[in-house]
Amino acid sequence: MTTTTDRRHLVGASLGLAVGLVALVTGALVLREHGPGNMWAGYLAGASLALLAAGVAFWRTWRRPAQATTAERAFTASADERDRAILHRAAATLGGVALPLTGAAAVLLALGVEPAPVIGTLLWTELVVFVAAFAVANRKL
């Protein structure tokens, strides 16, 4: 027998994964039709991996909440105050770093550097900053 909280968590996860699947298919179709080269294939691969990771996180927090990691709980509805505080600290750190990084990327683009590597490097740098900030906050709290 499931409780109301379990049912609400399952419905939210199912709805989120369904919306993610719709976004995945729609984005891939739009990029296949209007995007350059095989960008749609990269989008499809990356979005599929992200959707799979979200599904695993939801499943682990629903079926085995004691074994779920802080990151899995923080990105699902089962986060407690500590998990939310860690996520907020990491997001705040990323927000503080994102503006200067984006400014530096804009300067590079204005100087005539090829846009694809600049944007790719910007995104990867922001991802690394977020993951590092999340790990540091997780150890400190």
Is residue 1 pLDDT above 50, yes or no?
A: no
Q: What letter does residue 69 receive in the DSSP assignment?
A: -
Residue showing tokens 């080269």: 37
How far apart are alpha carbons 46 and 27 in whole angstroms? 11
Long-range CB contact pairs, 100-107, < 8 A, 24+: 101/125, 101/126, 101/129
Q: What is the average pLDDT across 85-94?
A: 96
Report pLDDT digits (tens) over 29-84.
Answer: 999 999 999 999 999 999 999 999 988 988 888 888 889 899 998 888 778 899 99
Band of the pLDDT at 87, cuts 50, 70, 90?
very high
Is residue 3 pLDDT above 90, yes or no?
A: no
Q: What letter does residue 89 receive in the DSSP assignment?
A: H
